[in-house]
């Protein structure tokens, strides 16, 4: 049986007691991991959530998805992740990204690739117990355990993907969910790994994929509109579209899209965000759904997961569309419909 690892995105937008119960339910549902969103104005503190969840689960892997070098200095990140790891040795990893919502909700730009490189190098060294130079000062993490804590990098574009292959222990890829995209992305990741004196096989490769499962394909695609319009028209993920053969018409982005808080893909009012994407026809939405996400019925989504394993995609980070509504429905659907189908097909 081929094991397909599946972790679930947990936005900390619910009260803390509800979050911990949800994470316990995620473990009971058969997920391998839970990624805790780190965005300080939208979510409860990531590392507090991870600590409580670590103490009240037994097998679930936990990780911030994703943290960043802008709102958390590398030394602060090292301290936080090492502290949590003491509660759940061997079940903790960290994913570092550019700080998308963390940055723009406080009027800052996301981290540059140079800042990412510096942060990840410092973080890995501190967690390994090494001494690091901070300007004219040197210091080390006094309580580094010596146990390996994987440091992964989040990546969407080709340059970031190569950097992750070069410097990190692995990568969380937000690039789409299509065999030809996977092949192109893995070639960039392998190039970066070679530059760092490593092989692709040395890296943990996680594929982030937005998930919307409904009784009908039409309703799933309607719910997906803000997410796939953002991915296809407004983000670095659009770089990978040509590999699929999909050519989008030229769209003028209406002001209503830019006005969504905090942004289209994290909208607090999802129906408002859906309405703001009405400028994109249904047929284009359907093509974007099939390129970027797991969108449709449970049977369709399970079959797509099986098909993507032949492209080397066996470690998934599934993300419900909404940030301000918890992923309870997606958790139950995977537990009751997707996981049984995967198991029946020999993939779980």
For residue 118, being part of any structural domain is answered with yes
What's the pLDDT at 300? 97
The model carries a pTM of 0.96
For residue 311, being part of any structural domain is answered with yes
For residue 280, being part of any structural domain is answered with no
215-252 as b/e, with b when 16 or more CB fall inside 10 Å? eeeeebbbbbbbbbbbbbbebbbbbbbebbebeeeeee
The CA distance from 276 to 263, in Å, is: 12
Using only C-alpha atoms, the chain has a radius of gyration, in whole angstroms, of 19
Q: Are 69 and 116 in contact (CB under 8 A)?
A: yes
What's the domain count of the chain? 1
CATH number assigned to the domain comprising residue 36? 3.20.20.30
pLDDT, tens digit, for every residue of 11-62? 999 999 999 999 999 999 999 999 999 999 999 999 999 999 999 999 999 9
The CA distance from 328 to 158, in Å, is: 33
For residue 235, being part of any structural domain is answered with no
Domain containing 176 equals 5-216+293-344
For residue 140, being part of any structural domain is answered with yes
For residue 72, being part of any structural domain is answered with yes
pLDDT band at 100 (very low <50, low <70, confident <90, very high): confident
pLDDT band at 348 (very low <50, low <70, confident <90, very high): confident
What's the start-to-end Cα distance of the chain, in Å?
7
For residue 282, being part of any structural domain is answered with no
What's the pLDDT at 236? 72
The CA distance from 254 to 272, in Å, is: 13
For residue 64, being part of any structural domain is answered with yes
């Amino acid at each position: 049986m081929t094991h397909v690892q599946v972790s679930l995105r947990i936005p900390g937008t619910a009260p803390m007691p509800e979050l911990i119960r949800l994470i316990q339910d995620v473990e009971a549902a058969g997920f391998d991991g839970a990624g805790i969103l780190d965005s300080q104005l939208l979510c409860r503190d990531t590392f507090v959530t991870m600590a409580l969840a670590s103490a009240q689960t037994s097998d679930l892997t936990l990780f911030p998805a994703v943290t960043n070098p802008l709102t958390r200095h590398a030394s602060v990140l090292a301290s936080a992740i090492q502290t949590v790891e003491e509660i759940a040795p061997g079940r903790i990893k960290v994913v570092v990204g550019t700080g998308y919502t963390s940055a723009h909700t406080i009027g800052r730009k996301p981290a540059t690739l140079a800042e990412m490189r510096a942060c990840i190098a410092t973080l890995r060294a501190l967690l390994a117990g090494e001494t690091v130079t901070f300007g004219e000062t040197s210091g080390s993490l006094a309580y580094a355990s010596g146990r390996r804590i994987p440091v992964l990098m989040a990546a969407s574009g080709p340059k970031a993907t190569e950097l992750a292959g070069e410097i990190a222990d692995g990568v969380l890829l937000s690039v789409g969910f299509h065999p030809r995209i996977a092949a192109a992305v893995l070639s960039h990741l392998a190039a970066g790994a070679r530059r760092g004196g490593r092989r692709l096989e040395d890296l943990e490769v996680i594929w982030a994929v937005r998930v919307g499962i409904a009784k009908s394909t039409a309703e799933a695609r309607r719910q997906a509109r803000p997410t796939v319009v953002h991915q296809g028209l407004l983000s670095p993920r659009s770089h990978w579209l040509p590999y699929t053969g999909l050519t989008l018409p030229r769209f003028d982005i209406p002001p209503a899209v830019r006005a969504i808080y905090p942004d289209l893909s994290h909208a607090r009012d999802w129906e408002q965000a859906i309405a703001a994407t009405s400028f994109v026809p249904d047929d284009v939405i359907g093509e974007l759904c099939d390129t970027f996400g797991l969108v449709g019925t449970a049977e369709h989504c399970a079959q797509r997961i099986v098909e993507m394993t032949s492209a080397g995609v066996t470690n998934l980070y599934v993300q419900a569309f909404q940030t301000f509504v918890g992923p309870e429905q997606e958790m139950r659907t995977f537990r009751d419909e997707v996981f049984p189908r995967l198991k029946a097909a020999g993939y779980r």
